[in-house]
Structure 1
């Protein structure tokens, strides 16, 4: 049964989804620094490289068929069972391939040390692909509260296992245990919450009916994965495991704010947009509002992190990671640049524009991979991150044009509206960075400078938003009042 979309159901589910991300990534906020102090950059680098290929195969295997279930008008169990068994077969084939060819794959990634880890992590693929079927059922029912509960539970127990084992001296084994504990508990929890029990029913015509959407989506997910993971592979191959570990730890931490908001929004907006597929005006208005709100929230966190990156790196991760503060700052900038694009993927998926989603993702993957490789070869790790920022700036313009043209609006007007909160965040961050540089001699404490930057940045951004985004604030207040008056729809 699919829930009807209105302001109440969407905001309720966004709230649950964001709360779950706050819980899961809040745990990472606390535990990544702990693990960083217990483990070396090389150990983080080995695990990061091994996870890259496993996550890639899980992504291309799960992106299409399970996600296509969300777009189905009715919850046809014959189709659901068919998708489950298709994902199961695909996942087993992928798992066997990794186990047999682990040495060659690890060498290709520039880390022969990751071979054994690849074979272990291959066991995660069936858990991921088969679990996606249960998640899709919850998503189409807009039951994100249940997903939130199990996400937080699984991540909490995974983190407890990782930190406990690291304190006992397990090093890399602690990171491995974290992945498996979280994956197993979430798998069991999703099936319990969805009330789904697989039956041996396979309909090839049902599967074929999903392929038009699923193949385009799978292609875009492959390209997106290349975009997000190619810097890790490039850094490992060109610069070595030490720099790969520095990139991994900085990327994990700088991704937390983004993942809290965007992952929560994307999960809910995809089924919401899919139910607006034939209402173009409503869908366009929802896109603009969601984009403005996500940029308003995400941009100041990302550019603010750049402003305090130097003292924050030492405070959070310890002196041995201090050298990587420019990497943390530039990664935060690269993600801040992309903050207006956070709603584009669920919009294109929900509106059925899988073709636009595919070629946009391919262009971005080529840009990011090419520019990061150039930077790594000629300018080192910091140079690679600077070129990543340039690639994302070009992507912002091109991606926005590709999406906004589907709404027949004015590109320049809509683009300016979407990016305005980001530009305000940039001004705020530059001011905070300038202030911290001026007081460095007078306030030698890194902790105090981090808190000073956060306080000044928060006040400054709040004042500027009140001056520049009054229409948006009034619209949000009106929606809050409307939500209070609207009946709750399960």
Structure 2
């Protein structure tokens, strides 16, 4: 906050101090973040619906082996994307100063990093594919990984939009890119391109999105190298980049291990289940991450009290949104898979039940990651992800060998709950975030989740046959139970009053 001086008394212009100041700061940033979040959610909702429709089509044009090959290529590409820009996007969003002063240097660093990484993965693609159980994935890896070069070229411009809470522009660019991705992928799949249909579709979509991001950002394209700026960017970005690289291992190690131990067909079933479990992280999680880092960065600039208050509001809300979906996926997995994709994909259900647990943990740890990054505690994110990865890899290997794809999913979920969550909590506590007040706010969501799970499980046992009936009766009743327990009665009455007001008087 700037000091105000002049003829009039300072007190007449002073900003509020103490709890009122923190609340005011959180409210203002919350309004900016809320607008960005609404656009992010809307865009992600449209894209997820479109992606879901596309997956239904591709699941009927392709075979599980094609999904398995794509899973290997995606594992390589997703690992690269986590370290692609050397942490420049986060460093740009968090930059304390004028964007124009650092943009030329940041652009050079991001382009150099993404290009060098693509060259490395071009060379090692055959070895990665062979180690993952399918040499056919080599060229799919090379094509799909090229999308990361596009992301490197546009990294600073994407960060500028996030920094200014202009998620509406970023959302529009992503939607147009998807409108290119979907028809390209479907047409190639219908023409017999197999796993290449995924790769070429994503590359074409990324190129179109990149052009629009550059146009929307309005940041002058200028290259330069200021050593002081570069040093400051890399001091912040490299630890974050290392942590994100480990996160890439966390998100994709199971594809490599399952493909190597169990073969490409079972990997295809595993990928389908993982994709279903990623619907909410993709829809809500991606939208939250678009606004979480800039929001918590602004709060961290003010004081720790503002940041802690923002965290106390965010965590219970996130849990209340994600938990009921996870319960539906976990308890009604067979009905979900069979209804959406058909009996041929039924083996994926045994995986989905446990990956639903992982979904909730991923959402919470991602939020913790953004909070730590906003505070500049990037080294803490490294230790968080490193501790998680060290335990996860052997757990996946043992689980896959003992109980197939279900064992791998159980290992993934167990490590997430028993290792990742405690490490995230510890990291936030050490960074100075007050977590104790959050516990009481989580009681109702957790209680509602337990009761809803019991209701869904009991009704699913009573209802057999048609998957849609199970989802409507068991799932609908369970969700209603969750809402009645978690949502305050005052809020329900207010919502009921608004619905009543919408009904014409004659129809009452």
Q: TM-score, normalised by structure 2?
A: 0.87
Residue 423 of structure 1, CA deviation: 4.5
Deviation track 1:97-142 (CA, whole Å, cap 9, x = no partner) reads: 2223322222233321111212222322210212222110111111
Structure 2: how far apart are the matches of 1:229 and 1:415? 31
Residue 405 of structure 1, CA deviation: 4.4
2:87 to 47, 61, 64: 64
Which secondary structure state, in structure 1, belongs to the residue aligned with residue 299 of structure 2?
coil
Structure 2: how far apart are the matches of 1:423 and 1:390? 21
For residues 439-458 of structure 1, the aligned pairs below 5 Å read 439-440=463-464, 444-458=465-479
- The verdict on how the C-alpha distance between 1:342 and 1:430 changes in structure 2, with shifts beyond 3 A counting, is farther
8 Å Cα contact 2:90-2:293 kept in structure 1: no
1:35 to 52, 58, 78: 58
For residues 311-350 of structure 1, the aligned pairs below 5 Å read 311-350=335-374
Larger deviation, residues 153-162 vs 300-309: 153-162
- The verdict on how the C-alpha distance between 1:308 and 1:419 changes in structure 2, with shifts beyond 3 A counting, is same
Look at both structures and tell me which one has the larger radius of gyration over its CA atoms.
2
Q: Is structure 2 residue 307 aligned with structure 1 residue 283?
A: yes
Structure 2: how far apart are the matches of 1:58 and 1:312? 30
1:249 match? 272
For residues 213-224 of structure 1, the aligned pairs below 5 Å read 213-224=236-247
8 Å Cα contact 2:269-2:345 kept in structure 1: yes
1:388 match? 412
- The verdict on how the C-alpha distance between 1:408 and 1:194 changes in structure 2, with shifts beyond 3 A counting, is closer
Structure 1: how far apart are the matches of 2:145 and 2:361? 34
Structure 2: how far apart are the matches of 1:102 and 1:115? 5
Q: Is structure 2 residue 488 aligned with structure 1 residue 464?
A: no
Deviation track 1:423-460 (CA, whole Å, cap 9, x = no partner) reads: 522431232022111121xxx21122122233112211
For residues 57-456 of structure 1, the aligned pairs below 5 Å read 57-277=80-300, 278-394=302-418, 395-407=420-432, 409=434, 411=436, 414-415=438-439, 417-418=441-442, 420-440=444-464, 444-456=465-477
Structure 2: how far apart are the matches of 1:180 and 1:422? 41
8 Å Cα contact 2:299-2:307 kept in structure 1: yes
Residue 369 of structure 1, CA deviation: 1.8
- The verdict on how the C-alpha distance between 1:101 and 1:410 changes in structure 2, with shifts beyond 3 A counting, is closer
Residue 289 of structure 1, CA deviation: 0.7
Deviation track 1:178-235 (CA, whole Å, cap 9, x = no partner) reads: 2112211111111011023422322222111112211121111011111111111111
Deviation track 1:440-485 (CA, whole Å, cap 9, x = no partner) reads: 1xxx21122122233112211111113xx679x69x99xxxxxxxx
Structure 1: how far apart are the matches of 2:433 and 2:476? 41
Deviation track 1:294-346 (CA, whole Å, cap 9, x = no partner) reads: 11101111111112211111111112111221112211122134544442121
Residue 416 of structure 1, CA deviation: 5.2
- The verdict on how the C-alpha distance between 1:122 and 1:408 changes in structure 2, with shifts beyond 3 A counting, is closer
8 Å Cα contact 2:259-2:267 kept in structure 1: yes
Q: Is structure 2 residue 32 aligned with structure 1 residue 16?
A: no
Structure 2: how far apart are the matches of 1:405 and 1:204? 32
- Count of residues in correspondence between the two structures: 467
Structure 1: where are the runs of 5+ without partners?
478-490
Structure 2: how far apart are the matches of 1:264 and 1:94? 27
8 Å Cα contact 1:78-1:203 kept in structure 2: no
- The verdict on how the C-alpha distance between 1:420 and 1:230 changes in structure 2, with shifts beyond 3 A counting, is farther
Structure 1: how far apart are the matches of 2:304 and 2:467? 50
Structure 2: how far apart are the matches of 1:9 and 1:170? 44
8 Å Cα contact 1:20-1:152 kept in structure 2: yes
8 Å Cα contact 1:274-1:350 kept in structure 2: yes
Structure 2: how far apart are the matches of 1:410 and 1:102? 43
Residue 352 of structure 1, CA deviation: 1.4
Which secondary structure state, in structure 2, belongs to the residue aligned with residue 276 of structure 1?
helix
Structure 2: how far apart are the matches of 1:32 and 1:143? 29
Structure 2: where are the runs of 5+ without partners?
1-24, 496-508
Higher relative contact order (CA 8 A, sep 6+): 1
